A and B are shown apart, each in its own frame.
Chain A
Amino acid sequence: MTELLVQLVIAGIKAFIVINTVLLAAAGLVYAERRIAAWIQDRIGPNRVGPFGLLQPFADVIKLYFKEDLVPALADRAYHRLAPWISITVALSLYAVIPVADSIVIGGQRIPLSVAPNINVGVLYILAMTSIGVYGIVLAGWASNNKYSLLGGLRSSAQMISYELALGLSIVGVVMVAGTLDLAEIIARQQHVWNIVYQPLGFLLFLIASFAETNRAPFDLPEAEPELVGGYHTEYSGMKFGLFFLAEYSNMVVASLMMVVLFLGGWHVPFIPELPRWLGLQEGSIGLALFQAGVTLAKTAALLFLFIWVRWTVPRFRYDQLMRLGWRVLLPLALLNIVLTGAVLLALEHVVR
Chain B
Amino acid sequence: MNVKENTEAQRMSFWEKLYLPAIVQGLGITLRQMFKPKFTRQYPEERWEPLGSYRGHPVLVLDEDGERCVACGLCSRVCPALAIEVQAAETGREKERYPVKFEINMLRCIYCGYCEEVCPEEAIVMSKDYELVFEDRESAILGKEQLLVPIERLQDRLEFLRRYK
Residues of A within 8 A of B (CB): 36, 38-44, 309-310, 312-314
Contact B34 A313 (CB under 8 A): no
- Cβ–Cβ < 8 Å partners of A38 in chain B: 40
Contact B39 A43 (CB under 8 A): yes
- Cβ–Cβ < 8 Å partners of B36 in chain A: 42
> Does B120 sit within 8 A of A, measured CB to CB?
no
Q: 0/1 per residue, B33-68, Cβ < 8 Å to A?
A: 111111110100000000000000000000000000
Q: Nearest Cβ in chain A — how far from B46, in angstroms?
A: 11
Contact B27 A310 (CB under 8 A): yes
A40 to B34, CA, bound (A): 5
Q: Nearest Cβ in chain B — how far from A3, in angstroms?
A: 52
- Cβ–Cβ < 8 Å partners of A44 in chain B: 38, 40, 42
Q: A43-B40, A44-B38 are in contact. Are A309 and B27 (CB under 8 A)?
A: yes
Contact A39 B34 (CB under 8 A): yes
Contact A42 B38 (CB under 8 A): yes
- Cβ–Cβ < 8 Å partners of A39 in chain B: 33-35, 38
- Cβ–Cβ < 8 Å partners of B29 in chain A: 313
A42 to B35, CA, bound (A): 9
A42 to B38, CA, bound (A): 5
Q: Nearest Cβ in chain A — how far from B8, in angstroms?
A: 13
Given contacts A36-B34, A43-B39, A44-B38, 16 further A-B contacts (CB under 8 A): A39-B33, A39-B34, A40-B30, A40-B34, A41-B33, A42-B40, A43-B38, A43-B40, A44-B40, A309-B30, A309-B31, A312-B30, A313-B23, A313-B29, A314-B23, A314-B26
A254 to B110, CA, bound (A): 54
Q: How many residues from B make CB contacts under 8 Å with A?
A: 15
A42 to B36, CA, bound (A): 7
- Cβ–Cβ < 8 Å partners of B33 in chain A: 39-42
A40 to B37, CA, bound (A): 11
| Chain A, residue nearest B23 (CB) | A314
| Chain A, residue nearest B29 (CB) | A313
A40 to B27, CA, bound (A): 10
A36 to B34, CA, bound (A): 8
Q: Of the candidates A41, A42, A313, which one forms a contact with B26 in the assembled complex, judged by CB atoms under 8 Å apart? A: A313
| Chain B, residue nearest A43 (CB) | B40
- Cβ–Cβ < 8 Å partners of B27 in chain A: 309-310, 313
Contact B30 A313 (CB under 8 A): yes
- Cβ–Cβ < 8 Å partners of B37 in chain A: 42
- Cβ–Cβ < 8 Å partners of A309 in chain B: 27, 30-31
Q: Nearest Cβ in chain B — how far from A176, in angstroms?
A: 25
A40 to B42, CA, bound (A): 18
A44 to B29, CA, bound (A): 18
A197 to B26, CA, bound (A): 25
Q: Nearest Cβ in chain A — how far from B9, in angstroms?
A: 11
- Cβ–Cβ < 8 Å partners of A314 in chain B: 23, 26
| Chain A, residue nearest B34 (CB) | A39
A2 to B26, CA, bound (A): 58
Q: Nearest Cβ in chain A — how far from B22, in angstroms?
A: 9
Name 23 A/B residue pairs within 8 A (Cβ), A-sorted.
A36-B34, A38-B40, A39-B34, A39-B35, A40-B30, A40-B33, A42-B33, A42-B36, A42-B37, A42-B39, A42-B40, A43-B39, A43-B40, A44-B40, A44-B42, A310-B23, A310-B27, A312-B30, A313-B23, A313-B27, A313-B29, A314-B23, A314-B26
A215 to B36, CA, bound (A): 29
A41 to B37, CA, bound (A): 11
A41 to B39, CA, bound (A): 9
A39 to B31, CA, bound (A): 9
- Cβ–Cβ < 8 Å partners of B26 in chain A: 313-314
A310 to B34, CA, bound (A): 13
- Cβ–Cβ < 8 Å partners of B31 in chain A: 309
Q: Nearest Cβ in chain B — how far from A71, in angstroms?
A: 36
| Chain A, residue nearest B39 (CB) | A42
Q: Nearest Cβ in chain B — how far from A276, in angstroms?
A: 31
- Cβ–Cβ < 8 Å partners of B34 in chain A: 36, 39-40
Interface residues in B109-151 (C-beta closer than 8 Å to A): none
- Cβ–Cβ < 8 Å partners of A313 in chain B: 23, 26-27, 29-30
- Cβ–Cβ < 8 Å partners of A42 in chain B: 33, 36-40
- Cβ–Cβ < 8 Å partners of B35 in chain A: 39
| Chain A, residue nearest B25 (CB) | A313
Q: Nearest Cβ in chain A — how far from B2, in angstroms?
A: 28
